[in-house]
Structure 1
Amino acid sequence: MTGLQRDLGFIPRLEALRGLAAVSVVAYHAFGQFIDSHVTGLAPVVLFFVLSGFVLARSLARGPTIGEFFRHRVFRLFPAAIAVVLLLTALHAQFGFYVGFLPDFSTVNVLMNALMLKHDINGPMWSMTVEILATPLILLSFWICRRHGWRTMLPFAMILFGLSFIGPYVHLLGGFSNLAPLYAFIAGVMLHFAGSELVKSSRDSSVWIAALFSGALLLYCGFQKQTAPIILLETISSGGLIAIISFAPISLFSFLDAGVSRFFGQVSYSFYLLHLIGLSVALRITSIAGWPVASALLTAVLAVALTTPLAWLSWRYIERPFVRWGRSFRQATQVAPEPAA
């Protein structure tokens, strides 16, 4: 393995960070069910967006063709999402079960949800709708950064930040979708090109301070009303955490090496897609009259417990096989040719 390939290799702590963020979404949603507040769970989603831009930029740097890149995205994202939409459709047909507001389960609407063009059947999939839209933006950002430097993308990110103050733009995709943090994907791509230089030029003590500050700032913003400035701070703090974890693996983040953290990192995508099912069931059996905080904590714990086995099954029998299948196409095209006679 060359030095470049090592530098672009898999970073287990980032996967674990994504897993913990997915679990925190459950806590945010459970908290909002019992306490009247502005908490929505958007902060972890902003982290997902920055992380997607960063990880996909690293993937593109390893040299796949555009066709391979898109094929990998299709096999990575769609099978588990389609399975969850079909599961919710079946649960509604059999038991009248649904999550959130009662959606339209007509054939056309189910198909639109399965293709991530809509997300009314499973509300959290709004972020996947935005991520699908952001894929060409990530490609363009990577190409511009590689050709002209990461600073070239700053004006584009600033334009999108300016648009995040405009309601019609923010809700352009309809439903629960939110385009305000779209520039977070660009931030992730720029971080791929600039993160190492920014982190390694800092002293060890400064890195620790930056890590603690980034984590505290992200947590603080997560409990605020999600205005455009707050989302910007979430993007900056998420970028700080991702850069430090990637380029300065300090012991502060050793908890991300734990087996439980790694496990939730592996199943994080399916966990995020399925968590409203676990939360909906938990809400029906955990409410304690007069104890909203205790109810929220108990609901979150039970929701995680109910969602985890479903997420593992989805990861084991849907995500992994389809990812392997997607990679097999590339391997099939790389078979060595027969030697000439």
Structure 2
Amino acid sequence: MTSPVRLPERLPSLTGLRFFAAVGVILFHAFTVPPITVFRDEKVNLILAFLASKMGFVALTFFFVLSGFVLTWSARDDDTPRMFYRRRFFRIYPNHVVTWAACLILLGGAPAWVALLNLLLVQSWVPRLEVASSVNIVTWSLSCEVFFYALFPFLLRGVQRIPRSKLWYGAMGALLTTLAMPFIAVLTMPDHPTIPVVNVSTYEFWFSYNFPIARLGEFVLGMVLARIVRERMWFRLPLWGALVILGVSYFGMLAVPIPYGVVAAEVVPSALVVLAAATTEIRGTNRFFGSRLSVWLGNISYALFMSHAIVLYWGRPFFLGDRKFSTPVALGLVALAVGLSVLLAWLLYITVERPIARRWSHPAPAPARAVPVVSSSGA
């Protein structure tokens, strides 16, 4: 008789994978945003922009699925919504405030109402891309996460009540909801004005990509997958196999037009990577993504995600102006930008994120009450 597999409380491989997803976002911005790119050779520039054009979309879908998975996996029976909200606030908001202020200063200001929406992380609810992607442009996704966090204690109760035999139906429901969003966008959103180059309505893109409600299905999918793994209903898919599927399918994603190609094309491969990484960790067969270096990089990945725009969007014009460079030099500059972003993220992590989270994420223990000493001797 074989003993049951003991499920670990932590899944280091998922932490390690976060770093590589964050680097994917950096490369997406470095190669595809015209004011940032440093390649003189237009042909090379177009090829790299095309190849990197879905990296950011894949990374964000991965992050949303991963967020639902990890929060559900680590949920405790004695937790309360208040405790959960406190931990999330002190986990995400300090880095956000610091990078928001830095971007606002480097940007030279912004309309007060836009800056306030960004500070409060509600900018993704506004159907205007210049608002959703303003100040620190990446925080539109954090606006979605805040919405997910607000619902999580209540969603968790629903996910926990799904009968074991119905879990895969629950996962399929969350998946189909996600796949339906671009079709709903095309049917319901105005088809003008359009975004140049991609030739899609700004409203269709906003609804499919930035709108928090439209992205909720990915988060819920991650939650249900966490229960599937806990119930030992997982696929025996090795992590390298899931990464191969993601890599091969990525070239198919490149051909999928927007708005269908910003989320719907990426959700299944991304979910498979999350599922495979978790199950590989449980079996103890992972080595690379769960290594000490990968986990350290994963720990600074949130700071990396939040701070890399400072290097790319303002470091580039400050140090390089609008100059373009030969392909080898340009590739070296992109590598340097990634390295500087990692360094900045590490500084943000050790000076802001980690000390504040350690100090404030949990309420201080109540002081011990003094117990009066009663003499045992007679009067």
What's the TM-score, normalizing by structure 1? Answer: 0.79
1:214 aligned to 245, 249, 255, which one?
A: 245
Q: Secondary structure at the match of 2:138?
A: helix
Q: CA-to-partner distance for each residue in 1:112-152, whole Å, 9 max, x for gaps?
A: 21211225101111100111122244334321121123334
Say yes or no: does 1:231 pair with 2:263. Answer: yes
Cα separation, partners in 2 of 1:218 and 1:296, compared to 1, 3 Å: farther
Larger radius of gyration: 2
CA positional deviation for 1:170: 5.7
- Please give the residue correspondences for 1:17-96 in structure 2 after superposition, counting only pairs within 5 Å: 17-33=17-33, 34=37, 35-36=45-46, 37=49, 39=53, 41-92=56-107, 96=108
Runs (5+) with no aligned partner, structure 2: 38-44, 124-131, 190-202, 375-379
**Residue of structure 2 in register with 1:192 after alignment:** 226
The question of whether the paired residues in 2 share the 8 Å contact of 1:14 and 1:245 is answered with yes
Which residue of structure 2 aligns with residue 112 of structure 1? 117
Q: CA deviation at 1:183?
A: 1.2
Q: Distance in 2 between matches of 1:215 and 1:128?
A: 24
Alpha-carbon distance in 1 for matches of 2:252, 2:299: 26
CA-CA distance at 1:285 after TM superposition:
3.0
Change (3 A) 1:131 1:170: farther
Is 1:319–2:350 an aligned residue pair? no
Q: Shift of the alpha carbon at 1:27?
A: 1.2
Q: Distance in 1 between matches of 2:87 and 2:204?
A: 28
Q: Could you tell me how far 1:235 is from its partner in structure 2?
A: 1.8
Deviations 1:165-207 (A, max 9, x none): 2334865679x825554311011001101135343x63xxx53
Q: Which amino acid is the alignment partner of residue 122 of structure 2? A: L
Distance 2:161 2:342 in 1: 43
Report the alpha carbon displacement of residue 301 of structure 1 after superposing the two structures with TM.
Answer: 0.8
One-letter code of the match for 1:207?
P
Contact in 2 for aligned 1:8/1:58 (Cα 8 Å)? no
Cα distance in structure 2, aligned partners of 1:251 and 1:28: 32
Indicate conservation of the 8 Å contact 2:61/2:270, yes or no: yes
2:295 to 258, 262, 273: 262
Aligned length: 320
Deviation at 1:53, TM superposition (A): 0.4
Q: Percent identity?
A: 24
1:118-129 matches, cutoff 5 A: 118=123, 119=132, 120-129=134-143
Amino acid of the residue matched to residue 309 of structure 1? L
Identify the match of residue 248 of structure 1 among 264, 275, 280: 280
TM-score normalized by the length of structure 2 = 0.72
Query: Which of residues 184, 188, 193 is equivalent to 1:166?
Result: 184
Taking the aligned partners of 2:280 and 2:311, their CA distance within structure 1 comes to 36
Question: Which residue of structure 2 aligns with residue 297 of structure 1?
Answer: 331
Conserved in 2, the CA contact under 8 Å of 1:82 and 1:115? no
Q: Does 1:183 align with 2:198?
A: no
> Structure 1 residues 12, 49: closer, same or farther in 2, change over 3 A?
same
- C-alpha spacing 1:156/1:325, structure 2 compared with 1 (3 Å): same
Q: Give a deviation string over 1:279-330, Cα, whole Å, max 9, x none.
A: 1224653988585x6466334312112212221121111111221133330x
Q: Which sits farther off after the overlay, 64-73 or 116-125?
A: 116-125
Write 1 or 2 for the structure with the bigger share of helix: 1
User: Deviation at 1:339?
Assistant: 6.9
Residue type of the partner of 1:235? V
Answer whether contact 2:17 2:298 (CA < 8 A) is retained: yes
1:139 aligns with 2:153: yes
Name the CA distance, whole Å, in 1 between partners of 2:342 and 2:254.
25
Distance 1:232 1:252 in 2: 30
> How big is the shift at 1:208?
6.0
Instruction: Give unpaired runs (5+ residues) of structure 1.
Output: 97-102
